[in-house]
Amino acid sequence: MINDKKVLFSGMQATGNLTLGNYLGALKNWVALSDEYECFYSVVDLHSITVRQDPAVLRKRARALLTLYIAAGLDPEKNCIYYQSHVSGHAELSWILSCFTYMGELNRMTQFKDKAAKHADNINAGLFTYPVLMAADILLFQSDVVPVGIDQMQHLELTRDVAQRFNAIYGDVFTIPEAYIGKTGAKIMSLQDPAKKMSKSDENPNGSIYLMDDPDTIMRKCKRAVTDSMAQIVYSDEQPGVKNLLNIYCACSGKTPDEAVKEFDGKGYGEFKMAVGEEVVSVLKPIQDRVKELEKDKVYIDNVIKNNAEKASYYANKTLRKVQKKVGFPERIR
């Protein structure tokens, strides 16, 4: 607990371009959480290299993502926004925790199996031990809560197990984190395949709206969105394409599905898609304008990077030194 507030940790990878789904499902909610929690929001670039990256592109995307965090409304004075790779405690604690994590536990991680299938030519040890690094991310700041999706819940359970195992041996060292269960973000699906989540890595460029897409591109993607031949706007699982567009419209406009369905009663899909596109543009344009402003102010962003890395390192080292002492590492001579 810091400043009498519970601690919250979350992060995103600097791979690919953030989508509307990333914003509505996570980033938008992060802003609201800033008042209630002491928040650490990381650009998790250590996680990114389990898949081969172009170094110049990764650096550029990491900075772009950190800039987007701020443009979306995260105040770097109020939240600790930093690069994971700038806080060595992540990697140091990850090694220690790997010595308290069992092979059988990691073998059960379904995400490793999924990623190994996708990257069969590069099944590296980092891909296998990824959940241990994620545990270190969370435990390093004595996080009370972690907002996680269903696909990451297994990793959070592992984090809790490892923390409890360590505490059972060495005493009350780690806070046992809980999943953040609050107002759930909108689950946004692909515009071309509403059975799949909108993804940064979608092979079909028309499936995802990216946060930096210009208005014309957004309108075009919405017009091309998959619907059906039923010619009615109803919020139903039987019409997944229409339901997804309604979810997007509601998340952007603040209306309920019932209100949206009434609004479009008797109207065609063409008019409906136009309205969805216009709402998306109205939400993303201020963020895009802010990104452009921030990109021009290199000194400001550099200062955020430096100051927040120092802040994150300060809190990380408090935990790390305690852990190092518990496991028997020699004290550092100052």
Residue 34, helix vs strand vs coil: coil
Residue 227, helix vs strand vs coil: coil
Q: How far apart are CA 46 and CA 139, in angstroms?
A: 16
C-alpha angle 285-287-292 in degrees, rounded to nearest 5: 95
Q: How far apart are CA 45 and CA 296, in angstroms?
A: 23
Q: How far apart are CA 49 and CA 133, in angstroms?
A: 12
Q: How far apart are CA 6 and CA 3, in angstroms?
A: 8
Q: How far apart are CA 27 and CA 167, in angstroms?
A: 32
Residues involved in catalysis: 115, 197, 200
In single-letter form, the type of residue at position 159 comes to T
**Cα dist from 48 to 54, 61, 83, 199, 205, whole Å:** 11, 11, 12, 16, 21
Q: How far apart are CA 16 and CA 11, in angstroms?
A: 14
Check if the beta carbon of residue 164 is closer than 8 Å to that of residue 173.
no
Write out the two tokens for 172.
């009350």
